[in-house]
Every structure is written in C-alpha cells, then in structure tokens.
Amino acid sequence: MSYNKSKKLFNEAQKYIPAGVNSPVRAFRGVGGTPLFIQKGAGPYLWDADGNRYVDFCASWGPLIMGHAPAGLVGKLRKDIVRGTSYGAPTAAEAELALQLSKLFPSIEKCRLVSSGTEAVMSAVRLARGFTGRQKILKIDGGYHGHVDSLLIKAGSGGATFGTPDSAGIPKELAKLTLTIPFNDVQALEAVFKKEGKSIAAFILEPVPANMGVVLPARGYLQKARAITKRYGSLLIFDEVITGCRLSAGGAQQFFSVKPDLTTLGKIIGGGFPLAAFGGSQKIMDYLAPLGPVYQAGTLSGNPVAVSASLWMLSKIKPKSFHAGLNRKAQLFFKKLQGIIDRHQYPVRLNTVGSMFTLFFTPSPVTDYASAKKADTQKYARFFHACLKQGLYTAPSQFEANFVSAAHSGQLLNQSLRKIQKALTYTF
C-alpha cells in the first residue's frame, strides 16, 4: 500500500496543529509510522487519502455500532439539517432524547446533554462533590475518563501508550484529592473506604475498563462497589461513555445488573456526532443550576443535529434482538480467533465482552492496569502494521478496545480472521 498522500497531509498538518493531530492517540506514536488521513467511511470500511480501503475495527473509538454513514441516518439528517444547525435554545427533541435515555437506563431519571464524554465526566464529578459536600474522588489505576484535570491521575489510554499516565499542568493540590486503587481488588476498595470513606464524594470507574484495553470485572466486583459506596454515603459513578448502548441497550449496568448513582454516556448515543450526557436520580440531578448550587452549562449542549442523530441511533439499538444478534456474531468471531491463538500457541491474551475485544501481547491474564502494562507494545506495533498492510484497521494503541459493528458481515469477519492470523504469524 502507498501512503504518500497521508504522509504529505501529515507533514502539512504538523505546521499548524500540535503533532499534526487533534487527539494524541491519532498520531500513531504508540505504533510508529505515519497516521492515516481518512477520506471517507461506509459500512464496515474506511478509505484513506491514498485510496486504500480498510475493514474498520476501531469504529471511531467506539461510536459507530451501526458502521459508517448508515443510509437511514444520512437520509434523516439531510432532512433535519435544513431547519438549522444550532439554536442555543430548548427543543422538543432534547426532552424526547432525555426520555428515551431514562427508558434505557433505569438509574437515569433525569439527564443533561453535553458535547463530549470528557464534559460529561467533568460535570458528573462536580455534581457528586456538590451533592455530597465532599472533595475526594476515587478511581481505578489506569482508568481513563477523558482529560479532566482531577482524573488524569494514573490514567490509561493515551497516557498508558506513552508511558506517562499523568499530565503536566495539573496542580499537585488537585491531584491530592484523587485516590486510586487497582481494579478488581476488593480488599483495596474496602481498605480505602475504611480510611477515607467519609471524605470520598464518589467512586468513578468504567464497569468494563476499555482504555487500558478491554478488562472484565471479576465476578461480584461491581456489586461490591455498589454496596460499599452506599454504606459510606459516597456516589457510584459508572463511566459508560464506551459501554453505554454497546454491551446492551442499557449499557453495562443492565448487562451486569448494577445500578449506579450517576452515569456518563457518549460515543454511541451521539450517532457519530459530538453528543454526550450525564444523568442520575432526580434528587441528585436537581442539584444542578438553575435549580441547585452546582453550575454546568454549554452553548452547543443539545445540538439539534446531534440530537436527531442520537434519536435515530437509539431507535435502531433499542430492540432486544439488535444486541442479541450483534453479540452472537461477535462472540462467534472471538471464538474462532481464540481457536487460532490456541492452535498456534501465540503468546497473546484475547479479552472480550459483548462486541468489544482487545488482543494483549502478553501470555499472562490481564485483569487490571498492572497486568495490562505487561503487554509488549513493540509486538503490538508489528501486529498493527501487519494488519494495516492487509487492509485491517485496528486501534493504533495496545491499550484500547476494538469493536465489531452491525455492518460487519459474517463473511467479512471470516476473511478478517485469516488476515489476523497472518499478522500474528508475522509478529512472532
């Protein structure tokens, strides 16, 4: 494959954009080489500026559960966009979207719409502090919740890729208000609450961490987190920016039958547009201005085009048959992939849940951030580029999730398996 146009565009972009990209992991620093500059997407495919076509397993980092540019969504937006692109005033569609989210997520009685997952998390954390009157936040090692100052402490995702999980520019005084514990460690969870419980406003976690790669919760861990936070009067925040509407229509909380106090949503609910939300009980949410003392606002919150896309997306994924079919197709793909790994004894770990997966380049089980960091990032880079040369686009980072979408056919997944096997053979 030729990447000449992508290289030229990247060189030009670096003159005007830091590192030539608007989000760090797009720069391919974790895998090396020149990032692809994408020209278009359709169904399960991406095309770059050089005309190369790829089967896309990155899915814009998770939102595209229906694939790229689904015809129904494109048709709907063509009709809607002529009525205006932004009003800065309430619309009936915003209230309808809030209603639909409350139907999908029983923990959400009221919600606020925002424009990004980071904004949703930032607002939820502020609300938790305002509601409880406490200052400290508890998170898991390697848990990534967007680039919120108080949560870029032992973060995963881009930070894990670069080996610098913390960021410059965060005051030490603020960092002291964030406590961290290993994921899946109930003893550590109990110990930190025994010591700091009365000062912890909230425990925030992805119920299935996906920004250190996909890591499953141990049996009973989420239920234990729910019980402990309730005992100490702290809020439990589920960051479902990735898992929301991905594992099931009602997210990981429906999948694992655990009800948090606050939920942050993004990615899928935006239908490919910048839209996110945070929500919880009426009692908590009514602490937001103008009803309560916790301020939160946004000029583009509830953008009419994004809301229209969201309502279309939710209508498609709401039937139980949608996730049943998607997860069944994905799990068959994962079963075949695991068979290839076992047959050839590749020293990798395949972690999966629903339609999400990560190949960790380590022979050891991956159950938390410490074990995820044992993965060989250089081998992952070799694997990534071997996939790329065969027309497979996976996440350009060892520490990210990959996704199967409704647009991936069984035949296409089987073809991809053969290419993945070749890439693994090349890697080892």
pLDDT tens profile 365-405:
999 999 999 999 999 999 999 999 999 999 999 999 999 99
Q: In CATH terms, are 4-69+321-350+359-406 and 72-317 the same topology? A: no
Distances (CA, A) of 151 to 125, 159, 167, 211: 9, 12, 10, 13
pLDDT tens profile 259-308:
999 999 999 999 999 999 999 999 999 999 999 999 999 999 999 999 99
Q: What are the sequence ranges of the domains in the chain?
A: 4-69+321-350+359-406, 72-317
Element (DSSP H or E) covering residue 172: helix 172-175
72-317: in CATH 3.40.640.10: yes
Nearest CA to 317 among 246, 259, 252, 235?
Answer: 246
Fold (topology level) of 4-69+321-350+359-406: Aspartate Aminotransferase, domain 1 (3.90.1150)
Tell me, letter by letter, the H, E, C secondary structure of 247-286: CECCHHHHHCCCCCCEEEECHHHHCCCCCEEEEECHHHHC
Q: Map tokens 């919600």 to a residue.
A: 111
Residues marked active site are found at: 144, 239, 267
Angle at 307 between CA 301 and CA 313, to 5 degrees: 140
Is the pTM of the predicted complex or chain greater than 0.85? yes
Which amino acid, 202?
A: A
| Phi/psi at 117 (5° precision) | -60, -40
pLDDT tens profile 61-108:
999 999 999 999 999 999 999 999 999 999 999 999 999 999 999 999
Residue 60, CB half-sphere, CA atoms under 13 Å: how many?
23
